[in-house]
Structure 1
Amino acid sequence: MQQHIKAYLDYLSHQKLYSEHTVSSYQRCLNRFQDYCQRYQLDNYSMILGQQIRMFVAEQNRQGKSATSIAQSLSAVRQFFDYLVAHKLAKSNPAKGIRAPKKPKRLPKNIDVDSLTQFLDRIPTDEPLQQRDKAIMELFYSSGIRLSELVGIDLPDMDLANQELRVLGKGNKQRQVPIGTAAIEAIKVWLKARSLLLKDPQELALFLNKNGKRLSQRGIQMRLTHWGKVLGLNDKLHPHKLRHSCATHVLESSSDLRAVQELLGHVSIATTQVYTHLDFQHLAKTYDAAHPRAHKKATAKKQNPESLKATKEKNKK
């Protein structure tokens, strides 16, 4: 199994073009499953049936693993067996039809428009690395792209004249996303400074580190955390927060869920629908603040008890 897991991870990396982070997650899940099989002496794929998969899920549940973690492990095992069946290494997939514990629905966190606008406007642009960081954050917020998609951007992927960007998303799928004017201006400033860091003329990466190489995912995460602390942002700043903020603010303004789905590159509309909960929260707050009769019950509760008693007596008469 160890040999097949290694071959499968290579397949994810080189043929499916999954990100390094995703492949590492699959590796952890499959190593956990391999340990389970060794402990129960499941030495042949024919010995692994649906019952064994259910026991694997139940064991993780007893160990206190979260529903999300268990679901990830089960998904990794299911896809691993799909790979084995396709390569005639296993006859069937025992993980098909096995359900993981229900995951709690968590709403994405976002930053409100005013706070985020003020934050982006306060980023200094006196030095090349500052100009790069501002361009990165403006692009995240403008387009809602994923961290892995931003890291993979090359110069030919941009069409600044038409304010469009081509990105390579999950499952090796390309899509076009719009770029806002603020992001365009920040990128233009960065492109002038990029040549100062460039050491290899063949390097096409849009965003470079101080050594002139493609900026890594970890490097971007660290820079966002840095600016969040320096500029006094209350919550920890990370790429997904900017992506969520982009999606939420577009939905609040347009109410076009399909457009947000295309923007984010979600395969299923169900994935995008989590933002409707945030949109409803925004609607509820607006309603409470604006509707003339929204506070009727609250006002009644605040009345003097003696006054309420007198009103009741009057109504009886």
Structure 2
Amino acid sequence: MTDFIQHLASEKRHSPRTCDSYQRDLQRLAAWLVEQNHTQWRAVGGYDLRRYVANLSRQGLSGRSIARHLSAIRRFYQYLLRERLATDNPALDIRPPKSSRRLPGVADVDQLNYLLDATPDDPLEVRDRCMFELMYSSGLRLAELASLDLNAVDRKSGEARVAGKGDKTRILPVGRKALEAIAQWLPIRAELAPQTETALFVSRRGDRLSHRSIQARLSRWGVVKGADQKLHPHMLRHSFASHMLESSGDLRAVQELLGHADIATTQVYTHLDFQHLARVYDQSHPRARRRSPRDNGDQNSGQKGSE
């Protein structure tokens, strides 16, 4: 298992976070197999893995989480086959249980404007607002924001170079408000960070801000500035996508901006957009509005009179 993780890191060039995720999933499987008195990977069969999936489901894991586990197991057995440490891949025909697809949470445009227009109370809040402006402006993932370096944002052209999943680089537009927020943050950053630090966003100690710290600061901003829902990084990305789609209707453009390899991933936002349109339709279209009992009574009385 250790050799497999090293293979992912060195040959497949997966990120440390991805490797850690694979390792946790496989260690969980290994612990369960030991409880079932299995001592060799080659002895594990499809029946065993179906029992394992059932066990994960009983523990409350969603279908999506179980699918991630199965993906790690399939990749691991591909490696074992290559190394001739197994004779088949028992996970190939195992399917995770279906789970309902949750639509991503989206913040209202007016609320986001209110929160982003709030005045920072200290230097670190200047940094926080800058991060959130940039995330909402360009639809960044949490990992993409955390990995930004100083030279990643070209303020003259209003563009940012972002390293997405699989180390795929894309160039994204940066809005005027986000550029203004960066200009306010950079003098403060210069006082905190040593010259050797390349990160755009740093902690009070001057080192690169961690994922957990960004999540905590966004949640704090929402509480302090009076948000009516819990804020998290994915909400800003989802809000960016939904608001862009509502305004433009261009699914392909939103796909490119988000860095989705498959447009099917982006299509979830069409459901959000349709929900918005359906509400507007129900409230506005004369043939769609539900009539009140009084309306029905007036209609019925009119019919009786004409008869």
Counterpart of 2:241 in structure 1 is: 247
Pair 1:222-2:216 in alignment:
yes
Counterpart of 1:136 in structure 2 is: 131
Pair 143,13 (structure 1): closer, same or farther in 2 beyond 3 Å: farther
Counterpart of 2:259 in structure 1 is: 265
Partners of 1:228 and 1:205 in 2: CA distance: 24
Q: What TM-score, normalized to structure 2?
A: 0.91
Counterpart of 2:57 in structure 1 is: 61
Work out which of the residue numbers 23, 26, 33 in structure 2 matches 1:30: 26
Deviations 1:185-216, CA, capped at 9 Å, x for gaps: 111211122111012x1211111111111111
Which stretches in structure 1 are left out of the alignment for 5+ residues? none
Pair 314,81 (structure 1): closer, same or farther in 2 beyond 3 Å: farther
Counterpart of 1:110 in structure 2 is: 106
Work out which of the residue numbers 135, 140, 146 in structure 2 matches 1:145: 140
Counterpart of 1:101 in structure 2 is: 97
Pair 36,97 (structure 1): closer, same or farther in 2 beyond 3 Å: same
Which residues in structure 2 correspond to 1:1-317 (within 5 Å)? Answer: 4=1, 6-13=2-9, 16-20=13-17, 22-124=18-120, 127-199=122-194, 201-295=195-289, 298-299=290-291, 301-303=293-295, 310=301, 313=304, 317=307
**Superposed structure 1 runs of 4+ greater than 6 Å apart:** none
Pair 42,252 (structure 1): closer, same or farther in 2 beyond 3 Å: same
**1:253 positional shift:** 0.6
Q: Which amino acid aligns with 2:13?
A: K
Deviations 1:245-288, CA, capped at 9 Å, x for gaps: 00100011111111111111111111111111000011112223
Deviations 1:170-194, CA, capped at 9 Å, x for gaps: 1222222111111111112111221
Pair 25,302 (structure 1): closer, same or farther in 2 beyond 3 Å: farther
What is the DSSP-based 3-state SS (H/G/I as helix, E as strand, rest coil) of the residue aligned with 1:303? helix
Partners of 2:255 and 2:141 in 1: CA distance: 13
Partners of 1:76 and 1:88 in 2: CA distance: 18
Q: Percent of aligned pairs with the same residue?
A: 48
Partners of 1:273 and 1:240 in 2: CA distance: 16
Q: Say whether the 8 Å CA contact 1:128–1:194 is kept in structure 2.
A: no
Q: Which amino acid aligns with 1:49?
A: G
What is the DSSP-based 3-state SS (H/G/I as helix, E as strand, rest coil) of the residue aligned with 2:295? coil
Q: How much is the aligned-residue C-alpha RMSD, in angstroms?
A: 2.2
Pair 174,92 (structure 1): closer, same or farther in 2 beyond 3 Å: farther
Q: Which amino acid aligns with 2:32?
A: Y
Q: Say whether the 8 Å CA contact 1:50–1:98 is kept in structure 2.
A: yes
Q: What TM-score, normalized to structure 1?
A: 0.88
Which stretches in structure 2 are left out of the alignment for 5+ residues? none
Pair 276,152 (structure 1): closer, same or farther in 2 beyond 3 Å: same
Deviations 1:35-79, CA, capped at 9 Å, x for gaps: 222122332232222232222212323444332332222122122
Q: Say whether the 8 Å CA contact 1:26–1:76 is kept in structure 2.
A: yes
What is the DSSP-based 3-state SS (H/G/I as helix, E as strand, rest coil) of the residue aligned with 1:299? coil
